[in-house]
Amino acid sequence: MGGDDGMETVVGAVCTLLGVAVGALGALAAARIQLRGAIAQADAVLAQADTTYRAALDQAYAAQRAAHEQWRREIRRDAYAAFVTALDAVRELAARPELLDAAHEEASGALPAASRAVTAAFAVVELEGPASLTLLARTAHQRGLTAAEHAVRLAPRATAMRLLNSATGAATADTSDSGSPSALARAAHQALTQLREAVYRMERGEISRDAYDAVRQRATEAVDACGLFTPDQTRALLSDPSWEVALRMGSEHADALARCEAARGDFVTAARALLAPDGDNDADTRNDTDTDRREARVARPARRLIP
């Protein structure tokens, strides 16, 4: 009897322990299920927070990019406008070679100053870019300086002819007075015309060198007698007196101005397209912006925006 009671006691204890163990396992399973749910909910919250942060970050970078592009566009616009203004100053001076002779110190000094100004303005365009527009600016810059060089070479002859035409065209004095300034100017003009004809005839073999030299001597004396010209102007009139030389120099000068004008037009057209809000095709700026955007997408939440 006593043995049976002991056995029953042991069996009861074992059953109690088994019940406690089963209950503990159930509670543990329930706790694990609750924990998984909490973790999933926390993951969803974190994912939503990450999405919100990335959207805010992209929006901030988009605003930053728009502000940067607007600032860059304004800087470039000012650089381009300064370059065109400086180029126009060179073109305007180069178009009036008759005012660029060394005898007119103010005008003759203005062209070198304008050339330096357009070179300085081009340097800013070269720094601001882009490369495609810099190439157009370089062409316009070079052509502007070329037109200025042609104008400087033409200046003594052009100035002398302006003075001569002015002196003969404004003559109202008595033409019978051969010693008057207007009469001397007309004599010089006639002598130069005869010299050009002599050059032409000598080149065709119609007159001898001695005959040409005689005409040239009379022209030299007439030019000196009128007293209108500086030594450089006299040299320009007498050194190459032929019509061919005068026409060639004038044609080269006009062509240089036309080429400069065309290059200016190409630059202005390209600058307008670039400065339009949707016209910025600068590869360097676009690549930099793409890099920033990629970095923003992989940034950690603690990362700060740096202006």
Each residue's pLDDT tens digit, 15-49: 666 666 666 666 677 777 777 877 878 777 777 77
Angle subtended at Cα 156 by Cα 168 and Cα 234, rounded to the nearest 5 degrees:
70
Each residue's pLDDT tens digit, 120-132: 999 999 999 899 9
Could you give the CA distance from residue 289 to residue 275 in angstroms, rounded to a whole number? 18
Q: In the prediction, which pLDDT does 181 show?
A: 83
Q: What is the identity of the amino acid at 175?
A: T
Q: Is the bond leading into 181 cis (omega within 30 degrees of zero)?
A: no
Q: Model's pTM, two decimal places?
A: 0.66
Q: In the prediction, which pLDDT does 106 show?
A: 60
Cα torsion for 199, 205, 210, 213, to the nearest 10°?
0
* Three-state DSSP class for residue 211: helix
The first and second tokens of residue 229, run together, are: 């010209």
Each residue's pLDDT tens digit, 118-169: 999 999 999 998 999 999 999 999 999 999 999 999 998 888 888 888 888 7
Shortest CA distance to 124 belongs to which of 65, 78, 181? 78
Cα torsion for 270, 255, 95, 226, to the nearest 10°?
170
**245 confidence band (pLDDT: 50, 70, 90):** confident
Contacts of 211 (CB under 8 A, 6+ apart): 198, 202
The half-sphere exposure of 268 on its side-chain side, counting CA atoms within 13 A, is 12
CA 215 to chain centre: 52
The pLDDT of residue 266 is above 60? yes
What rounded mean pLDDT belongs to the chain?
79
Q: In the prediction, which pLDDT does 99 show?
A: 84
